[in-house]
Amino acid sequence: MSFVILAVNAVPRNLRVILIAIMFFLAMSTLMMVSGGQLNASAQSLKPTFTAISYWGLNSSQPLQASPGSSFLPLTVMIYYLGPVELFNVTAYVKYSYPLTLVKGEPAPEAFVPLLEPGGSLRLVSLYNVSSNATPGVYNVTVNLTYYVEERLPTGETVTVKGTSSLPVEVAITGYSKVVVVSYSTYPEVLYAGESAAVLKIYLENEGNSLASNVTVKVEPQSPLSMLYPNMSTIKLGYLPPGHIVNLSVPLAIANVTQVTSYPFGYFSAPKPLNTTVYINVTYSGGYYLVPISLYLRPSAYFAAINAYHSPISVGASNAYVTVELANVGYGKAEYVTATLLPNPIFTPYVPSSENPLLAVDFMNESVGDLSSGEAQNVTFVISVSSGIRPGTYYLPLMITWYQPPTMQVMHQIILVPVKVGAGFQLSMSSLSGSSNTILYVIAAVVIIILVAMAVVGARRR
């Protein structure tokens, strides 16, 4: 130091001021470099430490399972601060990437706290969609943090330093959905040829471990089946939880596919037995399932009125006998066959005036017994004919009821039997209206005859 002073004194006076200024600048620069190095060393030694975890859902004790195709699923990211010093104005945000995308309209996940002490935490929650093309596994997202920390310099001065941290966070997409048809049934349980409608019941289950979303069921029946209500061919279920079973009822219409068969009494067509298929196409986020359901229309009985016998029937007649020859022209046996006359405005069961009108129920039903395919049997009904109809051919409606072996399922069929109704004896005023003069002459003659008769009777009494 003394050497520096002597060197300065040896310098001419006019240069001494400049040399002293240079020496002062060098000294201050050295001091600032030392202080900055100490600050950086201090900040490095006090580097804040963070850790982070993630789980699907809002409660870690009841986490959800994310699977490819999941949608509107909340993801929670928890950031824990381990220390060692207090942090100020801490901001955290998540940088997501494939296979995650934010739900449309959802704000970017971000959290802010003015003070974060060691042991504190931040929580970020946002709704995400998972790509349906993703494969189950563990993916990474990044959490970025910015903060401010106070540092004390060796000089005793306190300064605020800005810091940043970046954390990788694992996100598990290990769930999967698997929607399948576990069972099905029909109502009636056994389908027979000749039936007009049935109900197909489908039982769906999610055999996966995560919620299935956007579940849609499309029903595609093949001929001769069709949708009884076409607007029910597509059924949207929305969500199906894992392990949950849901049943769907699908009404189906059955068209008759007939086949002509020769019998001793003629050729007749009847619904034939056949196999058919209903395709069930189940789609959901991340998967689909297609299953064919085979249905068999079993052979059944089928009836036809091959003949009808009756004496001439006129308008307004009563106590008229009609005999109908019923034949089983189907491909199965019918047991306990009953024919029932269905009351209608034209024909009604005839009940004698001496009988209780309630007995009409007995007169409406005729037991036939068992009829195998190709067999025929007569049934007879006593009817009354409406007096308010015109002569012509009308149809007598009969309902045939039987038990269909082997399941003894009750079957029904309506048969219309043509019956000719004649005019009978009636006085038609319209036919007389064209000969009014003749009517007057006839009436006058009748009156004269009556008067003459009265005069003769009176003369004899005298």
> For position 339, what pLDDT does the model report?
96
Answer left, alpha or beta for residue 442, where phi above 0 means left and psi between -120 and 50 means alpha. alpha
CB 69 within 8 A of CB 284: yes
For 319-358, the pLDDT digits (tens) are 899 999 999 999 999 999 999 999 899 999 887 766 666 6
For 146-203, the pLDDT digits (tens) are 999 998 888 888 899 999 999 999 999 988 889 999 999 999 999 999 999 999 999 9
Query: What does the angle CA 409 – CA 411 – CA 412 come to, to the nearest 5 degrees?
Result: 165
**CA-wise closest residue to 191 among 256, 106, 237, 136:** 256
> For position 44, what pLDDT does the model report?
47
**The whole model's pTM is what?**
0.66
pLDDT above 70 for 376: yes
> For position 65, what pLDDT does the model report?
86
Percent over 90 (pLDDT), the chain: 64
pLDDT above 70 for 275: yes
pLDDT above 80 for 120: yes
> For position 8, what pLDDT does the model report?
44
Average model confidence (pLDDT) across the chain: 85
Tally Cβ neighbours within 10 Å of residue 89: 14
pLDDT above 50 for 93: yes
Q: What is the mean pLDDT of residues 66-86?
A: 92
CB 255 within 8 A of CB 227: no
> For position 211, what pLDDT does the model report?
84
CB 240 within 8 A of CB 248: no
Q: What is the mean pLDDT of residues 298-303?
A: 96
Q: Please give, one letter per residue, the 3-state secondary structure of the chain.
A: CHHHHHHHHHCCHHHHHHHHHHHHHHHHHHHHHHHHHHHHHHHHHCCCEEEEEEEECCCCCCCCCCCCCCCCEEEEEEEEEEECCCEEEEEEEEECCCCEEECCCCCCCEEEEEEECCCCEEEEEEEEEECCCCCCEEEEEEEEEEEEEEEECCCCCEEEEEEEEEEEEEEEECCCCCEEEEEEEEECCCCECCCCEEEEEEEEEECCCCCEEEEEEEEEECCCEEECCHHHCEEEEEEECCCCEEEEEEEEEECCCEEEEEECCEEEEEECCEEEEEEEEEEECCEEEEEEEEEEEECCCCEEEEEEEECCEECCCCCEEEEEEEEECCCCCEEEEEEEECCCCCEEECCCCCCCHHHHHHHHEEEEEEECCCCEEEEEEEEEECCCCCCEEEEEEEEEEEEECCCCEEEEEEEEEEEEEECCCCCCHHHHHHHHHHHHHHHHHHHHHHHHHHHHHHHHHC
> For position 81, what pLDDT does the model report?
96
> For position 206, what pLDDT does the model report?
95
> For position 350, what pLDDT does the model report?
87
CB 146 within 8 A of CB 90: yes
> For position 355, what pLDDT does the model report?
63
For 396-454, the pLDDT digits (tens) are 999 999 999 999 999 999 999 999 999 865 443 333 334 445 545 545 555 566 665 56
> For position 434, what pLDDT does the model report?
42
> For position 36, what pLDDT does the model report?
44
pLDDT above 80 for 280: yes
Sheet containing 73-83, strands listed edge to edge, beginning at the edge strand earlier in sequence:
49-56, 73-83, 121-130, 100-102
pLDDT above 80 for 259: yes
Q: What is the mean pLDDT of residues 109-133?
A: 94
Please identify which residue in the block is written with the tokens 């009351």: 343
pLDDT band at 363 (very low <50, low <70, confident <90, very high): confident
For 8-60, the pLDDT digits (tens) are 455 555 555 565 556 555 555 544 444 444 444 444 456 899 999 999 999 98
> For position 354, what pLDDT does the model report?
62
